[in-house]
Amino acid sequence: MMRVKLGTYIVKRLFLMIIVMFGVATIVFFITHVIPADPVGAILGGNAPIELVDQMRHQLGLDKSIPLQFINYMEGIVHGDFGVSLKTNRSVLKDIIDFFPATIELAIVSMIFATIVGVVLGILSAVYRNKVIDHFSRVFSILGVSMPVFWLGLLLLLLFYYRLGWLPGGGRNSLFIFPPHITGLVLLDSVIAGDWTSFWDGLRHIILPAFVLGYASAASIARIMRASMLDVLRQDFIRTAKSKGLSKRVVIYRHAVKNALIPVVTIIGLSFGSLLSGAVLTETIFSWPGLGRYIVNALLVLDYPAVTGGTLFIAFIYSLANLIVDISYAVLDPRMRV
């Protein structure tokens, strides 16, 4: 019975996601095909010869009517064909496959960092409410959601790279270190290949960007964890556990934390979206060869096929993350399945 219901819920959500993705593709079509009055002029400049302009309009399919363009566009997307990047002259899909692992690696490391720091700070904050550690954790949190990511990144770069020289200044690996290529995730590949020099090098490169990117998420996780812990600690079953004579340690770690973690799961999932947004800025500052930087560069030179592909892909990943959060929530809490 349970299983059937969960199944229908997942099917319903998947169906909704298909509709939403169709809408997402339409929004991106408007951004890349309808709003720009003269994309070719913007790319080639005002003085380009007319033959060149015509040729490019033809290449981009802009000489057709808007509805026809829309049909061609949707057809391309369904086949995973976003066209050819005007800048790199390669298939946009290939570009995305090349650039995406860097982003996902950065996002995963940031998420791990944010979750550990956020959950630990949240627990300590709630257990030692209004003590020094609580104040420290709250200041840490409010600063985390207030500081602009790009500014924090630049200042840390100034301190740890230029002034102290402790950490490298950007990129995924040093010049003469060639990490093995298996999955595209440098750290994972190095471990698989047992190449510890390259692992250490990759780790040193990812520390600063992962901290900068994960800080805001760590801050919001800490806040939610604190509130959730305080809520749980007030519940009757905690009083029961205490009156049974269990030690404070067992009550907190065996009973309270487990229950307090449920709302945190949602926040961790939702943070993934802000991570993808933040990745755009973080990757730009740390010259991280990921999808965020790819999209920024494409936007700055109005490389529309690349913009279309990159934006759609990011939206797809983001929606997928939200779907997974909703489903895992439904598994954890059956009341959510409405």
Report helix angle 257-285 to 92-127, nearest 10: 140
Residue (322 or 328) nearer to other proteins, CB: 322
Distance from C-alpha of 278 to C-alpha of 107, rounded to nearest angstrom: 10
Local structure of 85: helix, strand or coil: coil
Residue (60 or 152) nearer to other proteins, CB: 152
Residue (293 or 337) nearer to other proteins, CB: 293
By the rule CB under 8 A, 334 interacts with other proteins: no
By the rule CB under 8 A, 324 interacts with other proteins: no
Residue span binding other proteins (CB under 8 A) among the ranges 15-23, 78-86, 175-183, 190-198: 15-23
By the rule CB under 8 A, 206 interacts with other proteins: no
Residue (241 or 280) nearer to other proteins, CB: 280
By the rule CB under 8 A, 314 interacts with other proteins: yes
Distance from C-alpha of 144 to C-alpha of 142, rounded to nearest angstrom: 5
Distance from C-alpha of 78 to C-alpha of 63, rounded to nearest angstrom: 22
By the rule CB under 8 A, 265 interacts with other proteins: no
**Which of residues 6, 10, 13, 36 is near other proteins by CB under 8 A?**
36
**Which of residues 96, 157, 210, 267 is near other proteins by CB under 8 A?**
157
Q: Which two tokens stand for residue 48?
A: 């380009």
By the rule CB under 8 A, 259 interacts with other proteins: no
By the rule CB under 8 A, 296 interacts with other proteins: yes
Secondary-structure percent of the chain, ordered helix, strand, coil, rounded to 5:
80, 0, 20
Write the single-letter amino acid at 222. Answer: A
By the rule CB under 8 A, 78 interacts with other proteins: no
**Would you say 198 and 178 are in contact if contact means Cβ atoms under 8 Å apart?**
yes
**Which of residues 7, 8, 11, 16 is near other proteins by CB under 8 A?**
16
Residue (162 or 176) nearer to other proteins, CB: 162
Nearest one of 167, 176, 175, 162 to 207, comparing CA atoms: 167
Length of the chain: 338
Which residue stretches of 30-85 are H helix?
39-44, 50-59, 66-78
By the rule CB under 8 A, 307 interacts with other proteins: yes
Torsion angles phi and psi, residue 194, rounded to 5: 70, 25
Residue span binding other proteins (CB under 8 A) among the ranges 109-117, 118-126, 129-137, 143-151: 143-151
Nearest one of 9, 16, 71, 66 to 37, comparing CA atoms: 66
User: Binding-site residue total for other proteins (CB under 8 A)?
Assistant: 48
By the rule CB under 8 A, 270 interacts with other proteins: no
By the rule CB under 8 A, 91 interacts with other proteins: no
Q: Which residues, numbered 102-141, are part of the site for other proteins (CB under 8 A)?
A: none
**Would you say 213 and 110 are in contact if contact means Cβ atoms under 8 Å apart?**
yes
Q: Which two tokens stand for residue 169?
A: 């200044």
By the rule CB under 8 A, 77 interacts with other proteins: no
Judged on CB neighbours under 10 Å (0-12, 13-18, 19+), 96 is: buried
Torsion angles phi and psi, residue 60, rounded to 5: -85, -5
By the rule CB under 8 A, 302 interacts with other proteins: yes
Write the single-letter amino acid at 199. Answer: F
Q: Which residues bind other proteins (CB under 8 A)?
A: 16, 19-21, 23-24, 26-28, 31-32, 35-36, 142-143, 145-152, 154-155, 157-158, 162, 273-274, 276-278, 280-281, 284, 295-296, 299-300, 302, 307, 311, 314-315, 318-319, 322
